[in-house]
Amino acid sequence: MTSILQCIDCKEQYPIDRVMYTCEACGGLLDVVHDMDYLRHTVSRELFDQRLGTLEPPYNSGVWRYKELIYPDVEARTIISRPEGNTNLYPVPRLAEWVGVKTLFLKHEGENPTGSFKDRGMTGGLTQARVLGMKRVACASTGNTSASLASYAALGGLEGVVFFQDKQIALGKLAQSVAYGATGIQVSADFDRNLELVREVATKLGIYVLNSVNPFRLEGQKSIIFEMIQQFRWKTPDWIVVPGGNLGNSSAFGKALSELYELKLIDRIPRVAIIQAEGANPLYRSFVKEFEEFEPMHAETLATAIKIGNPVNYAKAVRTIHLTDGMVEQVSDQEILDAKALIDRQGIGCEPASACSLVGTKKLVEKGIIKPHETVVGILTGHILKDPDVVLKYHSGTLADIKAAYPNKLHQSEPSADAIRNILENTGTQ
Ligand SMILES: *Cc1c(COP(=O)(O)O)cnc(C)c1O
Ligand SMILES: [Zn+2]
């Protein structure tokens, strides 16, 4: 029943305990491939339902509840888990109306222990680091990967090394990495260059790379789909809409759906829509040319979590689009921040990149691709407190090139009841 590593292009196979990220024969990305015949006789909806609400590790984790589908062979005591997952699926009728569908849910991955979905991948990646006997782990990051790596490395007693670009890192993320004790290195280069550097340094120094090129991270991230579908009592929505940066999440979604379908845990495959920022849209550009070419680009967007111009998981994301009859859409920073303000105002909140899911849905409804009667789940990838700077600048109208459609301006008052009454009488209930 042993799982193996397999190249997605030439199908060359490698043992699961090899330290490698891409195929030695052709350079292709690797999948962790499980023994599906074994799983067919082992997993069932009932098995996963029985584990709901358990206090027992590792099954109390929203990742390891599905251990057989994530890493069947790993010993429970090797697993490094906070635990993660078990995030809410919010019905949002007012936002459904805004985007133009009858039924919209938001699954909030910002509710993970370090505030982003990256924890679901990191528990898989750090666990594999321990299986391999690695002492140091590293990543390049737009922020959330580092925060998550730093936390899980500390928990597992490994040294975490995180590479950042030296500007435009959201404050909450940088603070987390420092606080959790990772060795932080600021490099005057963008994310894409930093990722190249990490891979180079890691090979030379024997450090384990935990960017999403690492297939064990994607195994953990599949659990977003498993958990969502279990929350729907094993029914599938029509659409799953997700922001796309390095395309790890969207890649994991395709693999998760194909495995659930193959194991007959679902009876149809939902469509996946990947939403990119206009200034960081290499997948979108390739999509409109039917994936005939792919060109890396220089990325610019206020949604820093998806400011990536050369997504490492491009080929796997294309596989997801083909498997699910999916779509790729792009949205502007203006649209992202206004949509974020609406999500925040529901009392839910998210970081800028996450709002792609909402406004991307609206665009696809306007184009007639998502139909009003279809059920949509948008993924909120990160927590509202990750990037407080953008929030305050948006609401005070001080972001360059952004005109806030839903500002909530702070009021200034003298310390007198009359002055305060004046303010409240002029604001009214909104
Ligand atoms: C990492 C991240 C993304 C992008 O996810 P990919 O898997 O790289 O496409 C989107 N939103 C947030 C908040 C993130 O942290
Ligand atoms: Zn290969």
* pLDDT tens readout for residues 87-96: 999 999 999 9
Position 430 pLDDT exceeds 60: no
Is residue 63 within 6 Å of ligand 1 at its C-beta?
no
**CB of residue 355 inside a 6 A radius of ligand 1:** no
Indicate whether residue 148 lines ligand 1 (CB < 6 A).
no
Please state the atom number of ligand 1 nearest to the C-alpha of residue 109: 13
pLDDT of residue 190: 85
Distance 37 CA to ligand 1 centre (A): 32
Residue nearest to atom 4 of ligand 1 (CA): 245
Contact by Cβ (8 Å): 83, 62:
yes
pTM: 0.97
CATH architecture of 3-43+116-213: 3-Layer(aba) Sandwich (3.40)
- pLDDT tens profile 321-378: 999 999 999 999 999 999 999 999 999 999 999 999 999 999 999 999 999 999 999 9
- C-alpha dihedral, 259 to 263 to 267 to 272, nearest 10°: 0
Q: What is the CA radius of gyration of the chain?
A: 21
Closest atom of ligand 1 to CA, residue 144: 15
Token pair for residue 156? 């597992």
User: Does 231 score more than 80 pLDDT?
Assistant: yes
Local confidence band at 429 (pLDDT 50, 70, 90 cut-offs) = low
Percent of the chain whose pLDDT exceeds 90: 93
pLDDT class of 149 with cuts at 50, 70, 90: very high
What mean pLDDT is predicted for residues 13-19?
Answer: 96
Of 62-71, 190-199, 223-232, 400-409, the poorest mean pLDDT is in 190-199
Q: What pLDDT was estimated at residue 191?
A: 85
The confidence band for 64, taking pLDDT boundaries of 50, 70 and 90, is very high
For the Cβ of 3 lying below 6 angstroms from any atom of ligand 1, the answer is no
Predicted pLDDT at 165: 84
Lowest mean pLDDT among 89-93, 189-193, 222-226: 189-193
Span 36-59, average pLDDT: 97
Show the CA angle centred on residue 232, arms to residues 335 and 323, nearest 5°: 65
- Worst-scoring range by mean pLDDT, 41-55, 165-179, 259-273, 390-404? 165-179
- Which residue from 107, 145, 218, 249 has its CB within 8 A of the most atoms of ligand 1, so it is best to mutate? 249
pLDDT recorded at residue 2: 87
- The Cα–Cα gap between 162 and 262 comes to 37
Nearest Cα neighbor of 69 from 209, 320, 235, 262 is 262
Using a 6 Å cutoff on CB, does residue 212 contact ligand 1? yes
| Token pair recorded at residue 374 | 């279809």
Residues of the chain with CATH 3.40.50.1100: 3-43+116-213, 89-114+217-396
CATH of 89-114+217-396, one of 3.40.50.1100, 3.80.10.10, 3.40.640.10, 1.10.569.10: 3.40.50.1100
pLDDT at 171 over 90: no
Helix (H) or strand (E) holding 378: strand 375-380
Q: Is 305 in the pocket of ligand 1 (CB under 6 A)?
A: yes
Tens-place pLDDT, residues 95-139: 999 999 999 999 999 999 999 999 999 999 999 999 999 999 999
